[in-house]
Every structure is written in structure tokens, then in C-alpha cells.
């Protein structure tokens, strides 16, 4: 009997993971919301963003937020959501808090676990959106709920701005700043979807990056046209050869070296811990950005080149229409990451100047430029305090990112925006947009605590020194 009992119990005992530390009430609320959010398939085209927004609206209502301060703004199959936490106004204009509800498409058959089930395993939370950025959606919501429960009255309104298509067209954010400015207007914005901490492979925190600038995303098409004809009668003029010539010119061209306060500060900080000639180039560039030799070394590093200039690269190609016909047109897509403050049309003009007047150069879709946001001392101080509350002593460094988030729309209309996500991650754990996306469990609960410190510092009663 005992033997049978043991035989049934033993495999069970082995299958049960090590007991997780008991969660406090706020952590349990956050975990519950997080697991619900991961389950909504908020990929483009699934029409699940509004459903998820309704779930969140119920949570906010239950916490005591009035209906009049909860807004779901439909936009095609997706939606944006805005929730206002009213303050007493003594601290000035509102602060906007950003995250996006949509996720990059995940193919379950390629994943080791179901991407739409939150799975806690080996100290990680797995699931699509755990890193990008349903953790951010969760920690903002959970902190609004907690602060309400604590009776916190902010000195200024706090406005959650959840967008619904950051990973694709970014139309919901565009719509909010253009058509619902009154709902989202703020003195500055804090974005969960950028910035964050880096852990070394040994798990020790290395640095925290406070994102103050991001490059604009712009794609251009280069097109050559030709009358075409029979391929048995080739001529010197040929749309494909002319496009190839144009592409070689784009390949050879380098945009001028640029810098701002953020990139100089970030090279200074990175240079202090980076070995070899790249580290030397970072230090040299930080002390003298006119140092062409240092800039050239950084330009050879794929991870650094984007921080020193606008970059453009060929990404798509099409042309011709039959094996036996001279091509009537050929088109290449050039994707550019535009340095903050550079006008999109000046990039188009530069490409045009490089390839010559016979090649059409056109912008694909929309693109907006944004300036780098100034390093506000109050934001830097509050972020540093919040970072140190979870990771004491870690250096906080401004960074400029080469990708672009919804934050660029706020910056473009003059609302300074800071990427201040609270997740600490190892580089080897970063699978956002990819397979088996995950975040350390500890980092999730730290992120939750971090935002509580950040919000109560920036919108709490003034501390007498
Ligand atoms: Zn994101």
C-alpha cells in the first residue's frame, strides 16, 4: 500500500516546481492581470485588442475609476485606451504613461510552449508579449489599482495611454495625438516600451538605459523605368542595370556623423566598460565627436553604427515581368533609420542626389522625425531613485535607440518622452518579436515595484529635505 502510495506521489513531487516565494496582494493582482493579458491574441488582424481593452476597463472600474475617465477609442479592428487618474493639480500638467496592447504575430507551432498561455517555468515567465510589452501594460494597470487602494492622490493627473498597433502601423497613436489631444495631452510621457536595465550573463545588473531619443523609421523606393522590349534585342538602357547602379551608389554612401547630448553621454558610459579598440573609439568619440577615426571604428560595428548617423540599407527588390522581356521597371526598397532632428525629406533628397535624376525616389507610407528629448533633472532623479529601489547602485545612462516606438509621436508634437521601462534582462534572454519570448519572474515583480516608486516620486507630495 505504502509502496503504491509512494509510487503515485513521487512523480508528482518531482513534477512540482520549487515553491515560488509567496506573493503579496499587489503582486498577485499583477500576476492575474498578466496571465489574462497574455491569453488575448492581440496580433494584427485578430480584432482582440478591443476585447482586451474591455477586460482592462472592468479592472479599472472595479478599482474605483469612473467610466468618464476610461476611454476606449476604436480604430478599425484595433483600439487605443486612455485611463486618467485624477490628481489635485498642485504639481502641474499631467504625465502620460505608455504601453501598447498589440503583440507581434506568433506561430504556436514554432514555439516550445503555447505563446498565448502565461507559463512560469525555471524562474521565467514565457509567452508572447511578456517582454514586449504586456508586462508594461500590466504594471501600469496594477499600479493604478494599487495606488487607488492606497488612497493616493497624485499632484498631477496620470494618464495611461495604451495603443493598439505599435508593432505595425502605429495609427492609433497618430490618431490620439492628432484627434484626441485633450485626452492625452501631458507635460511629458514615460514609456514602458523602451529603456530598461541590462543584466550580465552572471545575473548581476550592469547598467540602466534611460531612453531619451529614438531614430525615425522611413522607407523609400528607388524605381527605374524603361520602354522595355524583346530580350533578343538588348539595348544599353535597361531598368534592372540602372537600378543596380543606383543601389551601388546607395551602398557606398555614408550619411554625415551626428551626435547629441544623449549619444555622447551613452558613449562615455559604455566606453568605460567596453574593452579593446571599440571601447577606445567610444571614449575618443565621447570626448571629441569630430574624431573621424573614432567615428570610423564605430561605423564598422553593427551595434554602434546607428548611434552615429542616419543609416539606409537596401531591404527589398523587384523588377521585370517575363524571362524573355526587357524590364519595364525595377524597384528597390531602402529602409532608413533617421537621426533625431533630421528631416525625412532631406534624407530623400540625399538619396536622390546620390542616384541621379533618372531614378525616382519616393517615400513609402508615412514617416515622422522627432527631436531628442531634453534630459529633465526631475525625470532623471526619479528614475534613478526607482532603479536603485530595485537594483541599488546601478548606473543610469541616457540612450538613443535605433528602433522607433509610439513614443516618437509624442516627441513629434512637442511632448518630451522618456523610455523608462523597469525590466532588467540579460541580452541572451531577449527574444522580443521572436520565439519563446520570456522575462525573468524576479524582473517582472521588480518592474511592478519600480513603477510604484517612480509614480509616487514624480506625482507624490513634495518631500521636505
Ligand atoms: Zn514594443
Q: So what's the pLDDT on residue 462?
A: 79
What is the distance in A from the centroid of ligand 1 to the CA of 180?
22
What is the mean predicted confidence (pLDDT) over 290-301? 96
Q: So what's the pLDDT on residue 464?
A: 59
What is the distance in A from the centroid of ligand 1 to the CA of 165?
10
Q: What is the mean pLDDT of the chain?
A: 93
pLDDT digit string, tens, across residues 402-413: 777 899 999 989
Q: So what's the pLDDT on residue 13?
A: 39
Instruction: At 420, list the grid cell.
Output: 523608462
CA gap 2, 379 in Å, rounded? 63
What is the mean predicted confidence (pLDDT) over 93-97? 98
What is the distance in A from the centroid of ligand 1 to the CA of 167?
7
What is the distance in A from the centroid of ligand 1 to the CA of 246?
34
291 with 285: CB under 8 angstroms?
yes
Q: So what's the pLDDT on residue 36?
A: 98
What is the distance in A from the centroid of ligand 1 to the CA of 221?
26
DSSP type of residue 259: -
pLDDT digit string, tens, across residues 378-411: 999 999 999 999 999 999 999 998 777 899 999 9
What is the distance in A from the centroid of ligand 1 to the CA of 404?
9
- pLDDT classification of 20: cutoffs 50, 70, 90: low
The correct CATH number of 23-194+405-458 out of 3.40.50.300, 3.40.630.10, 3.90.1660.10, 3.40.50.1370 is 3.40.630.10
Instruction: Give the DSSP H or E segment for 331.
Output: strand 329-338
pLDDT > 50? residue 7: no
Instruction: Tell me how many degrees the CA angle 128-133-139 measures, rounded to the nearest 5.
Output: 120
pLDDT > 80? residue 422: yes
Instruction: Give the DSSP H or E segment for 408.
Output: helix 407-412
Q: Where are the domains of the chain?
A: 23-194+405-458, 259-301
Q: Identify the residue with better confidence: 19 or 389.
A: 389
What is the distance in A from the centroid of ligand 1 to the CA of 328?
40
In 79-237, which residue ranges form alpha helices assigned H by DSSP? 134-149, 171-179, 181-184
pLDDT digit string, tens, across residues 211-237: 999 999 899 999 999 999 999 999 999
Q: So what's the pLDDT on residue 6?
A: 36
| Cα atoms in the 13 Å half-sphere on the side-chain side of 78 | 23
Instruction: Tell me how many degrees the CA angle 64-65-68 measures, rounded to the nearest 5.
Output: 140
What is the mean predicted confidence (pLDDT) over 28-32? 98
pLDDT > 80? residue 12: no
CA gap 379, 416 in Å, rounded? 11
Other residues' Cβ atoms within 10 Å of the Cβ of residue 243: 25
| Closest among 184, 174, 147 to 71, alpha carbons compared | 184
pTM metric for this prediction: 0.84
Instruction: At 464, list the grid cell.
Output: 521636505
- pLDDT classification of 14: cutoffs 50, 70, 90: very low
- Secondary structure of 35-73 in HEC code, one letter for each residue: HHHHHCCCCCCCCCHHHHHHHHHHHHHHCCCCHHHEEEE
What is the distance in A from the centroid of ligand 1 to the CA of 401?
13
| Closest among 207, 127, 195, 212 to 423, alpha carbons compared | 195
118 with 34: CB under 8 angstroms?
yes
What is the distance in A from the centroid of ligand 1 to the CA of 60?
23
Q: So what's the pLDDT on residue 287?
A: 97
What is the distance in A from the centroid of ligand 1 to the CA of 133?
5
pLDDT > 50? residue 306: yes
As a whole-number percent, the residues of the chain with pLDDT over 70 amount to 95
What is the distance in A from the centroid of ligand 1 to the CA of 166?
7
Q: Identify the residue with better confidence: 76 or 9.
A: 76
What is the mean predicted confidence (pLDDT) over 251-264? 95
What is the distance in A from the centroid of ligand 1 to the CA of 100?
7
Q: What residues flank ion ligand 1 with Cβ within 5 A?
A: 132-133, 193
CA gap 181, 175 in Å, rounded? 9
What is the distance in A from the centroid of ligand 1 to the CA of 145?
23
Q: So what's the pLDDT on residue 428?
A: 85
DSSP 79-90: EEEEEEE---ST
DSSP type of residue 153: -
What is the distance in A from the centroid of ligand 1 to the CA of 191?
10
What is the distance in A from the centroid of ligand 1 to the CA of 420?
13
What is the distance in A from the centroid of ligand 1 to the CA of 405?
7
Three-state SS at 380: helix
What is the distance in A from the centroid of ligand 1 to the CA of 136?
9
CA gap 224, 222 in Å, rounded? 7
344 with 368: CB under 8 angstroms?
yes
pLDDT > 50? residue 54: yes
> Given phi > 0 = left and psi -120 to 50 = alpha, else beta, which region is 350?
alpha
pLDDT digit string, tens, across residues 141-184: 999 999 999 999 999 999 999 999 999 999 999 999 999 999 99
What is the distance in A from the centroid of ligand 1 to the CA of 132?
5
| Closest among 224, 178, 197 to 423, alpha carbons compared | 197
Other residues' Cβ atoms within 10 Å of the Cβ of residue 338: 24
What is the distance in A from the centroid of ligand 1 to the CA of 411?
17
What is the distance in A from the centroid of ligand 1 to the CA of 149?
29
List 325's β-bridge partners, or say none: 230
What is the distance in A from the centroid of ligand 1 to the CA of 214?
13
CA gap 251, 262 in Å, rounded? 28
Amino acid at each position: 500500500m505504502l509502496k503504491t502510495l509512494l509510487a503515485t506521489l513521487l512523480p508528482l513531487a518531482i513534477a512540482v516546481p520549487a515553491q515560488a516565494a509567496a506573493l503579496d496582494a499587489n503582486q498577485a493582482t499583477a500576476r492575474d492581470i498578466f496571465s489574462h493579458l497574455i491569453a488575448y491574441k492581440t496580433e494584427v488582424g485578430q480584432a482582440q485588442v478591443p476585447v482586451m481593452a474591455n477586460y482592462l476597463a472592468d479592472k479599472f472600474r472595479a478599482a474605483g475609476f469612473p467610466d468618464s475617465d476610461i476611454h476606449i477609442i476604436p480604430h478599425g479592428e484595433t483600439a487605443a485606451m486612455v485611463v486618467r487618474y485624477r490628481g489635485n493639480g498642485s504639481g502641474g500638467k499631467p504625465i502620460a504613461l505608455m504601453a501598447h496592447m498589440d503583440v507581434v504575430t506568433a506561430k504556436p507551432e514554432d514555439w516550445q510552449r503555447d505563446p498565448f498561455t502565461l507559463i512560469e517555468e525555471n524562474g521565467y515567465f514565457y509567452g508572447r508579449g511578456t517582454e514586449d510589452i504586456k508586462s508594461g501594460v500590466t504594471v501600469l494597470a496594477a499600479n493604478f489599482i494599487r495606488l487607488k487602494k492606497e488612497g493616493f492622490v497624485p499632484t498631477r493627473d496620470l494618464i495611461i495611454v495604451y495603443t493598439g498597433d505599435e508593432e505595425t502601423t502605429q495609427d492609433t497613436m497618430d490618431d490620439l495625438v492628432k484627434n484626441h489631444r485633450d485626452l492625452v495631452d501631458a507635460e511629458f510621457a514615460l514609456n514602458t516600451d523602451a529603456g530598461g536595465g541590462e543584466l550580465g550573463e552572471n545575473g548581476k545588473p550592469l547598467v540602466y538605459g534611460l531612453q531619451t531619443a529614438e531614430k525615425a523609421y522611413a522607407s523609400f523606393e528607388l524605381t527605374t523605368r524603361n520602354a522595355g522590349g524583346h530580350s533578343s534585342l538588348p539595348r544599353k538602357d535597361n531598368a534592372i542595370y540602372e537600378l543596380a547602379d543606383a543601389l551601388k551608389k546607395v551602398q557606398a554612401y555614408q550619411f554625415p556623423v551626428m551626435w547629441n547630448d544623449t549619444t555622447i553621454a551613452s558613449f562615455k558610459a559604455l566606453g568605460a566598460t567596453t574593452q579593446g579598440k571599440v571601447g577606445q573609439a567610444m571614449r575618443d568619440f565621447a570626448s571629441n565627436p569630430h574624431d573621424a577615426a573614432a567615428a570610423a571604428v564605430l561605423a564598422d560595428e553593427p551595434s554602434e553604427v546607428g548611434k552615429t548617423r542616419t543609416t539606409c540599407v537596401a531591404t527589398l527588390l523587384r523588377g521585370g515581368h517575363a524571362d524573355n522581356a526587357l524590364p519595364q521597371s525595377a524597384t528597390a526598397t531602402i529602409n532608413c533609420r533617421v537621426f533625431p532632428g533630421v528631416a525625412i525629406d532631406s534624407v530623400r533628397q540625399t538619396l536622390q542626389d546620390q542616384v541621379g535624376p533618372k531614378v525616382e525616389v519616393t517615400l513609402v507610407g508615412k514617416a515622422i522625425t522627432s527631436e531628442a528629448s531634453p534630459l529633465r533633472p526631475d525625470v532623471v532623479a526619479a528614475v534613478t531613485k526607482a532603479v536603485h529601489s530595485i537594483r541599488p547602485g546601478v548606473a543610469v545612462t541616457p540612450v538613443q535607440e535605433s528602433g522607433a516606438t509610439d513614443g516618437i509621436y509624442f516627441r513629434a508634437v512637442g511632448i518630451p518622452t522618456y523610455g523608462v521601462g523597469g525590466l532588467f534582462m540579460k541580452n541572451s534572454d531577449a527574444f522580443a518579436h521572436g520565439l519563446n519570448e520570456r522575462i525573468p519572474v524576479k524582473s517582472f515583480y521588480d518592474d511592478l515595484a519600480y513603477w510604484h516608486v517612480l509614480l509616487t516620486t514624480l506625482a507624490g507630495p513634495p518631500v521636505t529635505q
